[in-house]
Amino acid sequence: MRASVIQISVDEGESVESRRRRAAGLVREQAGADLVVLPELWTTGAFAYDDFGREAEPLEGPTYEAMAKAASDAGVWLHAGSIVERDPDGPLYNTSLVFSPSGDLAAAYRKIHRFGFDKGEAVLMGAGAELVTVRLPQTTLGLSTCYDLRFPELFRGLVDAGAETLVVSAGWPERRRAHWTLLARARAVENQSFVVACGTAGTHAGVPQAGHSIVIDPWGEVLAEAGAGEEVLTVEFDPDKVAATREQFPALKDRMLGLQPPLRP
């Protein structure tokens, strides 16, 4: 299986419209890949909170249109990263879109863990409530977005739902790059799954981005890692390695579910 991870640069100097055109062009160039992945909120930038309201779009808005067409032109499964979704009956959401090679929407995932504590995304957006997996011919994807990476129970839930390849679409800052790499590898090892983690390059809202998109196998080995700048990371991997790893080292079978808190303080 061949995956292309598009670590696009998100900088204020470029308009959203221009970046949308460029992203669509980069997706088209990946014809022949099985899976193409874009990062979180690459239209506005994950930290450009002041732009969220202005750039919010309906689910089937301009980014949806451009990405559906790019997926079908390239004939690839496309995780199109996330958009600021304006729900007509509710708040804004940080919503990831996955398209099939015919350009049909296969899944939408609303980010569950919002970043910012008591500001930014955490107050500007609503929280998703549903885990989302997507069945591809070669593997089952489990979807997550950026800050979700810090919450292992989300990934365990995805594995319980059949995920074998955990996709992390992110806009992770350079300041915490060590956490990004460490957590991505931990999620791969503890879930005996591939991790395909796509971040952004560039600087927006004064926040330099980490880049360093990374693809990790179920044993925790790094198959490919990007640098800091804009880059398309291409990697081949064997999806059967998930079943083989889980069989050879069946740690997932030793889970002790329903542990109780101590009886005495």
Ligand X SMILES: NC(=O)CCC(=O)C(=O)O
**Residues annotated as part of the active site:** 40, 111, 146
Where in 132-151 is the site for ligand X (CB under 6 A)?
Answer: 146-147, 150
**Torsion sign over Cα 83, 229, 146, 175:** negative
Query: How far, in Å, CA of 88 to CA of 224, rounded?
Result: 40
Query: How far, in Å, CA of 209 to CA of 59, rounded?
Result: 26
Smallest distance, ligand X to C-beta of residue 204, A: 11
- DSSP-assigned beta bridge partners for residue 36: 4, 78
DSSP secondary structure of 193-244: SEEEEE--BSEETTEEB----EEE-TTS-EEEE--SSSEEEEEE--TTHHHH
Smallest distance, ligand X to C-beta of residue 27, A: 22
Query: How far, in Å, CA of 37 to CA of 40, rounded?
Result: 10
Residue 115 interacts with ligand X (CB under 6 A): yes or no: yes
Nearer of residues 147 and 237 to ligand X, judged by Cβ: 147
Residue 109 interacts with ligand X (CB under 6 A): yes or no: no
Residue 46 interacts with ligand X (CB under 6 A): yes or no: yes
**Residue 42 host element (H or E):** none
- DSSP-assigned beta bridge partners for residue 197: 168, 214
Smallest distance, ligand X to C-beta of residue 55, A: 15
Smallest distance, ligand X to C-beta of residue 146, A: 3
Site residue total, ligand X (CB under 6 A)? 11
Nearer of residues 22 and 151 to ligand X, judged by Cβ: 151
Where in 150-209 is the site for ligand X (CB under 6 A)?
Answer: 150, 171-173, 176, 179
Residues near ligand X (CB under 6 A) are 40, 46, 115, 146-147, 150, 171-173, 176, 179
